[in-house]
Structure 1
Amino acid sequence: MSDGAFHGLALVLAIAGMAAFALSLDAHWRQIARRRPPSGLVRIGLRIGGGALQAGAFAACLAADPPTMAVLVWTTTLTIAAALVAAAVTVQARLSAD
């Protein structure tokens, strides 16, 4: 795979991980799922899955770049993913309020 493909994979994994982290919070779960928050076990699973996805994003960055650069690219990717998920949750909340 090319470096660009690994970076794209890292972004997709980071977005999925941030979405899992967001859904593990009661407020975001209610905004997205429109029902009772999940049980503690589901919440733990979402957090573990989010962490695993973030680790996968880091592995994809390591596959594309040397370790020192991979850390920089990974943190930038996490920042972009967090901003995108925060925007998506905000837009979803505003659309559902109307």
Structure 2
Amino acid sequence: MKLCQIINGIAWWIFESEEMPEFANVPGVVLKDITGLDPQPQEGWLYDETTDSFSAPSELGPLPEPSPSVEEMQAQTLLNTEYLVCLAEISNL
């Protein structure tokens, strides 16, 4: 089947799979079976969940980056803190 990953109302990734992947239940991520849709949506197209339909954007530009999740921001903060601690320890040698 042909699937489309939708993030924040934008067709983000189009791929083929024999079954629905496990990450289909991630909050904020919608997976839609687009097998047989005409016209076939493309990456960057807009998805309207209320009408369950895709539409080409009026102007194609670069895809916006999805907002980081709270967990991703916490992980980045932890990495930055560990990096700064390592730098401080090295400078004290």
TM over 0.5: no
Q: By percentage of residues, which structure has more helix?
A: 1
* Rg comparison, structure with higher value: 2
| TM, length-normalised to structure 2 | 0.30
| TM, length-normalised to structure 1 | 0.28
Query: Greater relative contact order (Cα 8 A, min sep 6): structure 1 or 2?
Result: 1
Q: By percentage of residues, which structure has more strand?
A: 2
